[in-house]
């Protein structure tokens, strides 16, 4: 059993994550700051679930500038400074990270809802579901970032690049569980 202070800290982290996601989602949907890359309308709030106030800061500092509304209002000057390498890497990782988070959350809920256990514990089923679901959603999110940028939405060509990207990310920068269970690619 976890100490009381640790459980309280977990609840605070969950609350901050959900509140941050709600603020970003409201800004996108209610205030009309829909992103230029549509997948980011989903990726930014999902990222806030696990990064909380850090994601909220990143969204309002940089991500909101990429909304259609802001780009239309301010034109070309919106891209000034938007090409920083740290921002591009963070933005690129966000597509995959949001998909992975969605897969992890979905896997956990499926195990909980079904009561699935192996040897009286849910840990095995969580491992069995979380990694493939996180990988599949990560690839899907990468696809919806790559395909529209190339004008190839609905085509299979960008899927190969999304799979390559998902495979390399799961072995280099995924969650601890993903790194420990994913095969090394040697790249």
Q: Give whichever of 9-18, 38-47, 58-67, 95-104 has the largest mean pLDDT.
A: 9-18
State whether 26 and 74 are in the same domain.
Answer: yes
State whether 73 and 106 are in the same domain.
Answer: no
State whether 108 and 155 are in the same domain.
Answer: yes
Token digits of residue 131: 């990694």
Confidence grade of residue 179 (pLDDT, cut at 50, 70, 90): very low
How confident is the model over 32-45, as a mean pLDDT? 87
Instruction: Select from 27, 53, 82 the last residue of a domain.
Output: 82
> What are 140-166's pLDDT values in tens digits?
888 888 888 778 777 777 787 777 765
pTM for this entry: 0.72
State whether 178 and 92 are in the same domain.
Answer: yes
Instruction: Select from 82, 113, 148 the last residue of a domain.
Output: 82
Give the H or E element holding residue 45: helix 40-51
pLDDT at site 24: 95
Instruction: Select from 82, 100, 129 the last residue of a domain.
Output: 82
State whether 72 and 159 are in the same domain.
Answer: no
State whether 5 and 63 are in the same domain.
Answer: yes
Instruction: Specify whether the CB–CB gap between 82 and 31 falls below 8 A.
Output: no
**pLDDT of 176 strictly over 50:** no
State whether 119 and 140 are in the same domain.
Answer: yes
> Which range of residues forms the domain containing residue 44?
1-82
pLDDT at site 53: 96
The DSSP code sequence of 72-90 is HHHGGGGGTTTT-HHHHHH
How confident is the model over 89-103, as a mean pLDDT? 80
How far is 47 from 63, CA to CA, in rounded Å? 12
pLDDT at site 81: 52
Least confident of 74-78, 169-173, 174-178: 174-178
State whether 112 and 182 are in the same domain.
Answer: yes
Least confident of 1-10, 48-57, 78-87, 105-114: 78-87
N residues, the chain: 187
Number of domains forming the structure of the chain: 2
State whether 78 and 88 are in the same domain.
Answer: no
pLDDT at site 167: 57
State whether 103 and 187 are in the same domain.
Answer: yes
pLDDT at site 85: 72
**pLDDT of 180 strictly over 50:** no
> Which of 4-23 are b and which e, b meaning 16 or more Cβ less than 10 Å from the residue's Cβ?
eeeeeeeeeeeebbeebbeb
How confident is the model over 66-82, as a mean pLDDT? 62
> What are 9-37's pLDDT values in tens digits?
999 999 999 999 999 999 999 998 888 78
State whether 48 and 99 are in the same domain.
Answer: no
State whether 92 and 73 are in the same domain.
Answer: no
């Amino acid at each position: 059993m976890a100490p009381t202070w640790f459980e309280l800290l977990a609840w605070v982290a969950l609350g901050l994550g959900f509140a941050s996601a709600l603020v970003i989602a409201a800004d996108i949907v209610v205030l009309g700051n829909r992103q230029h890359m549509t997948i980011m309308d989903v990726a930014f709030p999902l990222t806030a679930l696990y990064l909380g106030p850090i994601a909220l800061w990143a969204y309002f500092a940089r991500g909101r500038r990429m909304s259609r509304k802001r780009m239309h209002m301010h034109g070309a000057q919106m891209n000034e400074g938007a090409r920083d390498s740290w921002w591009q890497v963070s933005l690129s990782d966000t597509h995959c990270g949001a998909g992975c988070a969605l897969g992890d959350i979905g896997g956990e809920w499926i195990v909980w809802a079904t009561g699935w256990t192996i040897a009286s514990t849910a840990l095995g089923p969580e491992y069995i579901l979380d990694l493939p679901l996180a990988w599949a959603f990560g690839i899907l999110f990468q696809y919806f970032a790559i395909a529209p940028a190339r004008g190839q939405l609905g085509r299979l060509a960008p899927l190969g690049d999304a799979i390559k990207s998902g495979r390399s990310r799961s072995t280099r920068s995924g969650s601890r569980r993903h790194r420990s269970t994913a095969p090394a690619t040697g790249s």
